[in-house]
Amino acid sequence: MNAFLRNLSPTHQVAALFLIVFGVLTVVSIATLGVGLRERRNAAHGEAWLREFADFRALLRTTWFMVVVFWIGWALGPGVATLLFAFIAFFALREFITLSPTRRGDHRSLILAFFVVLPAQFLLVGSARFDLFTVFIPVYVFIAIPVVSALANDPSHFLERNAKLQWGIMVCVYGMSHVPALLLLSFPGYEGKSAFLVFFLVFVVQTCMVVQHLIARRFAYLPPDEADAARHGLRGTLRRWLAREPFAPNVSRSFNWVSWGLGMAIASVVGAAMSFITPFKFGQALAMALIACVAGSMGHLVMKALKRDRGIPNWGKKGVGVTGANGLLDRVDALCFAAPVFFHSVRWYFGV
């Protein structure tokens, strides 16, 4: 089987990859649908199980969304992929800004962000001007935004308003623009296979987030009196090792160092096992997966802090986005942080 795949052309190899992924997701989705229908006809579980099942379905929908987006991007070519991710960045920024109070004096800055900065950034990506697109937003845009805001003659909450807009541009536009940029990297002997790099990044980051989520949910921290009653059997033994008090409970009730460390370890090993589809050797793939997972998981925690600051549990409550984007930031927040760190780590280490 391995020899057969290696003998395929790069285009057919990528197509085979997507075929396998879609097949696995279809099987899992059918099984999930069957379990849901059976539970609806004959309820056999409590509310805690139903909440976990709902969370799993949400993760499955997120995985479907990301796979479909990347498949469309690969099928239509790097140019269309760049345009597709530009639209995703647009809706993500729109969702972010909607939850950030603005004033009349911000209108010019918002027009600059949505209709000048965003298209210019992705145009630079599409033209493979890597040295310019990596500094365009952190240098030029971060200077231009407060200048335009100052010219609007509205000093009220000036620093806070500009910082929110700059942060939104950095996460939603700058971070997302590095995903299609991966498709344009050129490794010797790896021509036509850059889609594997994108798949590698998304898969390891998503694996890390899923592992953390499942461990934190299945082995949630309990008060000492309740924990003593739950320490029987295999699950009780696992709970003693895995259940830890949240490290930052005001930001996330599910984040603790044990689940985080296990997520890092498992996703990194998965990344190393996938080294054969990348230009990396085993140890290099392990290190790159670890770097991407650290950035993605910490970015997810940062976005949770922003949601708590705004007083919302999700960017799209109950699957309905606050701007019609269907909770887009909940689906791509880890990727927005992981992509630029991964991209620049790869370019720096391999000199591409």
Distance CA 346, CA 129 (A): 16
Amino acid at 141: V
Tokens of 276: 């054969």
Summarize pLDDT for 125-183 with one digit per residue, the tens. 989 888 899 999 999 999 999 999 999 888 888 888 899 999 999 999 999 999 989 88
Specify the pLDDT at position 322: 42
List alpha helices for the chain, DSSP H. 2-7, 10-41, 47-76, 78-98, 107-112, 118-126, 130-135, 142-151, 158-168, 176-182, 194-218, 224-229, 233-242, 257-273, 282-310, 328-350
pLDDT of residue 4: 56
Per-residue model confidence (pLDDT) at position 157 = 85
What is the mean predicted confidence (pLDDT) over 229-239?
55
Predicted confidence band at 201 (pLDDT cuts at 50, 70, 90)?
very high
Rounded Cα–Cα distance for residues 242 and 236 (Å): 10
Structure tokens at 193: 């296979």
Burial class (CB in 10 A: 0-12, 13-18, 19+), 23: exposed
Section 67-91 average pLDDT:
83
pLDDT tens column, 265-307: 999 999 999 888 888 889 999 999 999 999 999 999 998 888 8
Percent over 90 (pLDDT), the chain: 29
Q: How far apart are CA 345 and CA 136, in angstroms?
A: 19
Predicted pLDDT at 319: 44
